[in-house]
Structure 1
Amino acid sequence: MTSPLAPNTLLYVGLMSGTSLDGIDAALVAIGPSAAPRLLETHAEPMPETLRQLLWTLCHADQARFAELASAEAQFCALQAQAVQALLAKASIDADRVRAIGSHGQTIEHAPQGHAGGAAYTLQLDNPSLLAEHCGITVVADFRRRDLAAGGQAAPLAPAFHQALFGRTGVEQLVLNLGGIANVTWLPAAPKQPVVGFDTGPANVLMDAWFARHCDTGATERFDKGGAFAKSGRVDTALLNRLLDEPFFHQPPPRSTGRELFHLDWLLERLEGGEAPADVQATLAELTAVSVARAIIDLLPGGGALDLITGGGGAHNTYLMERLHHHLPGATLTSPEAYGWPADWIEAGAFGWLAHRRLQELPGNLPSVTGARGSRVLGGVYAR
């Protein structure tokens, strides 16, 4: 930590593992009685290949054995503990100074509409009791299902944090997260006007999968760095149109999605065969740019100048950013670092903040985002 903390400041750790399955992000967050949340330290714990493969299999399995689930959960929890311990060591903070860990867990499947008329569900693999035992810190987890129980989508949850972090009275802003899935948050200038946020579709999940299929050399980085592979190809307009025919893109908010819809087989079913791999990659980047741009234009049909605060791994893809700017020429793409928050650490920070909301018995969802019947206190508490 580079500067002293104000009196009555509480420390939280936020943990996030997203659709990329590349590791666990851990963020140390300071929350005071009045100031905006402050990011003190970060740590990225890489995902071992054996665990990544196990989680990937579970995410795509029609059936899973309980022993597989238990094994994956135990390994995942041990990795979370490693991430927390490494984070606190970097920050020179003892565990007893941390008020709580906010754990998102690893989403295995997200079906807020249910399947074939069945019950709605969202499943995050997690073991907060074991994590509390490993770390000696209270854990807050299972954030999503309370919103789902109230009729909401259970996602995205980060827009409430975006409001706390970036919201300014009298200033209209948009926040775009380009993780595995892309989501956008509109923060209106009028304080009484509700925040709007929703998933726009795939960001990196399809690009990463296609890159791994054709270009993975066994290196740690399993993604198209800077969009170089995509830039070497040409957009296949016919393929792009087939991809954009997916009903999700035409569904009004509230809406959320994940790997259970946008995965490699979904893409393969829409290929005609013989496409150049680089052309498919370019088309996938265009799919992300076009679907994000259309969602924003639908949200704010007046167009004109936009301040678009862009974070997540996709913000480092320079080719994707070029295509996004092409489709939104009036947008100024601003890094969250302009607000003192690095682009890669918003999601992890959000779950530290949500843990604080839970312990203060304050709502963590925004009904205008998720479609829930009202504001709800999210998460269960697992004492150390």
Structure 2
Amino acid sequence: MADKMRDGLFFAGFMCGTSLDGVDGALVHIYQGKIELLAYEHHPFSPRLTGWIREILSENMTGKSTFQSLGDLEHLLSETETSLTSRLCSLSSISPSDIDGAGTHGITAYHRPSPHVPSWENPENTNIPGITIQISNPYRLSRKYGIPVVYDFRRADVSVGGEGAPLATLFHRAAFSDPHENRAFLNLGGIANLTYLPAFSNARQTCLSFDTGPGNMLLDLAMSHITHGEETYDKNGQRSASGTVQKCIQDFLLDDPWFSKPPPKSTGREDWGEEKFATLLTFLKNYPFVQNNDLLASLAETSAAGVLSGFRWLDSKPDLLILGGGGSYNVDLRRRISRITGVPTTTTERFGWPPQAIESMAFAYLAALTLSGRPASLPSTTGCPHAVIGGSIVPPQNGSLPARLREICLAAEIHLPFPDRATPPESRLPGSGPLFSEETGRRQ
């Protein structure tokens, strides 16, 4: 226990985003209010494997083959995460026995958080809550290293009426907030999501988080379509930079009522995936003059315009926009976002972290929050009615979970960074330190 108080917390995190191009793994150290990235590695999938995963998730498969494929995909993820853990420990010279726990997001198979009429016979026509399904198999990772593993992070939030996304908000707040500068963090994955980070001095402003629409998703689908699957993304935005924005495309996409919907809101491939792209291709039959690079330029401009559209919901315009995720490597997209929003941009590399590592770091951090009894989402981040502790826990098989949880809870009181010591009173251990506000992180 004394060692844990002195050495801080070590957590691994894993993420496979909507691009489905591989698994990101990160090992973080949480110590004296700071988060340190010890190691990061991306395990890429081949284009063929990515195509297979997209086929599974496209609803084109039915019956027994779907269940077997989902099981095979779970196994693939568990093997990848287990080998990544070994690799991360090797890179950071950390013994696996020093890891306190891990968080795995898995792959989002379906995400539609709004209430709906169920598909079965329902004479009363009564709505049921939203749905979010992530594919993962955390048991191998837990058994291999004897650690608690947190998974299925979104369902608890959705079950009480929250959007279940974005979920990395509290990590963004802990990692990138500034005492005096209003900032925003923009994750450019397949879907783009924005987190507003008011300066600590702006006590009345709210840490707000929501999806802004497509990030890379339509761009990647367009590149795959244009190159007949030979290229899955526009490297550095070279092709979109040489194209001309076609207003007809931008108007077609921005006409979607989703952009006018106020937060909280989240979206996914159900709204901006293959079906939307197919609809766009049908629409473009009326405009045969649109060249391939013009299509890419128009899609990049639309992603940037979605970010600007989200600014209307913020308490004030941020002084700095911090970019993370794979899309932050797209130079053309970055330039468009900076030009359209009028806000200077930087990437997480300014803070010493690779942009693509942020999401896996976030789920390592969320695992620490869950295992220490702290919420992963707040009303201002997902629209949940109250702070929600998210995630299911796979316990180690040696029966050590109760002792481990106590160690993590007590160490978290010392080492979790301000302002995220947000803990519901009912979940605290006796004598575990001061109580902090769920909304502001300030001492009660």
TM-score normalised by the chain length of structure 1: 0.92
Which segment drifts farther, 130-139 or 19-28? 130-139
TM-superposed CA distance for 1:77, in Å, is 1.5
Partner of residue 415, structure 2: none
Distance 1:139 1:40 in 2: 19
1:301-358 residue CA offsets vs partner (Å, 9 max, x unmatched): 765x7211111111111111121122122x1112223333332211110000011111
1:161 corresponding residue in structure 2: 171
Of 316-325 and 187-196, the range deviating more from structure 2? 187-196
Q: Secondary structure at the match of 1:257?
A: coil
More divergent stretch after superposition (349-358 vs 7-16): 7-16
Give the aligned partner of residue 288 of structure 1: 303
**Residue in 2 aligned with 1:194?**
206
Give the C-alpha shift of residue 382 in structure 1.
1.0
Evaluate the alpha carbon distance shift between residue 217 and residue 129 of structure 1 in structure 2; reply closer, same or farther with a 3 A threshold.
closer
- Paired with 2:316 and 2:379, the residues of 1 have a C-alpha distance of 24
* Counterparts of 2:180 and 2:205, CA distance in 1: 11
Give 5+ residue unaligned stretches, structure 1. Answer: none
How big is the shift at 1:97? 0.9
8 Å CA contact 2:111–2:133 kept in 1: the answer is yes
Long gaps (5+) in structure 2: 118-126, 397-444
Alignment counterpart, residue 210 of structure 1, candidates 216, 222, 227: 222
SS in 2 for 1:7: helix
Q: What's the counterpart of residue 53 of structure 1?
A: 51
Q: How far apart, CA to CA, are the structure 2 residues paired with 1:378 and 1:192?
A: 26
Read off the aligned partner of 1:186 and give its amino acid letter. Answer: Y
Query: C-alpha offsets along residues 205-247 of structure 1, whole Å, 9 cap, x if unaligned?
Result: 110111112136746xx21011111122211101110111112
Deviation of the 1:43 alpha carbon:
0.7
**Offset at residue 362 of structure 1 (A):** 1.0
- Residues 2-81 of structure 1 correspond to what in structure 2 (within 5 A)? 7-32=6-31, 34-61=32-59, 63=62, 65-81=66-82
Cross-structure match for 1:151:
161
SS at match of 2:296: helix
Q: Deviations over 1:42-78 (max 9, x none)?
A: 0111124454233211221164532222122112221
Of the structure 1 ranges 231-240 and 9-18, higher mean CA displacement relative to structure 2 is found in: 231-240
Deviations 1:239-289 (A, max 9, x none): 110111112111110000111110133123133222322111111001101
User: Which structure: larger Rg?
Assistant: 2
**Helix, strand or coil at the partner of 1:230:** helix
Q: 1:231 to 1:168 in 2, by over 3 A?
A: closer
Secondary structure of the equivalent of 1:69?
Answer: helix
Does structure 2 retain, via aligned residues, the 8 Å contact 1:19–1:259?
A: yes
Give the structure 1 partner of residue 354 of structure 2: 342
1:223 matched to which residue of 2? 233
- The secondary structure found in structure 2 opposite 1:269 is helix
Bigger shift: residues 21-30 or 80-89: 80-89
Amino acid at match of 1:87: L
Deviations 1:142-176 (A, max 9, x none): 11111111210000011111111112233311111
C-alpha distance in structure 2 between counterparts of 1:120 and 1:159, whole Å: 21
User: CA separation in 2, counterparts of 1:346 and 1:210?
Assistant: 25
Between the aligned partners of 2:395 and 2:96, the Cα distance in structure 1 is 13
Return the alpha-carbon distance in structure 2 between the equivalents of residues 54 and 216 of structure 1.
Answer: 15
1:322 aligned partner, one-letter code? R
- The answer to whether the Cα contact below 8 Å between 2:196 and 2:314 also exists between their aligned partners in 1 is no
Inter-CA distance 76–333: structure 2 relative to 1 (3 Å threshold) = same
> Which stretch of the first structure deviates more once superposed, 82-91 or 9-18?
82-91
Query: Tell me, what secondary structure is at the counterpart of 2:271?
Result: coil
Partner of 2:291: 276
Question: Are 1:60 and 1:260, in contact at CA under 8 Å, matched by a contact in 2?
Answer: no
Contact 2:243 2:295 in 1 (8 A): yes
AA aligned opposite 1:324: I
AA matched with 2:110 = E
Percent identical pairs in the alignment equals 35
Per the TM alignment, residue 192 of structure 1 is displaced from its structure 2 partner at its CA by 5.3
Q: State the distance in 2 between where 1:262 and 1:175 align.
A: 21
Decide which of 330, 333, 336 is 1:320's aligned counterpart: 333
**Structure 1 47/69 Cα, relative in aligned 2: closer, same or farther at 3 Å?**
same
Counterpart of 1:251 (choices 258, 261, 265) is 261
Q: Is contact 1:367–1:375 with CA below 8 Å preserved after alignment?
A: yes
In the alignment, the residues of structure 2 paired with residue 320 and residue 314 of structure 1 have an alpha-carbon distance, to the nearest angstrom, of 7
Paired residues for 1:360-375 under 5 Å: 360-375=372-387
Contact 1:51 1:75 in 2 (8 A): no
SS for the counterpart of 1:164 is: helix
Listed one character per residue, the Cα deviations across residues 119-144 of structure 1 (whole Å, up to 9, x for unaligned) are 41101000112332244432111111
Deviations 1:84-142 (A, max 9, x none): 22222222222111111110111111110145555411010001123322444321111
Give the counterpart letter for 2:78 in structure 1: C
Q: 1:6 to 1:317 in 2, by over 3 A?
A: farther
2:89 is aligned to: 88
Give the alignment's Cα RMSD to 1 decimal. Answer: 2.0
1:68–1:322 CA distance, 2 compared to 1 (3 A) = same
In structure 2, distance between residues paired with 1:152 and 1:302: 24
Matched AA of 1:215: T
**Equivalents in 2 of 1:358, 1:146: separation in Å?**
12
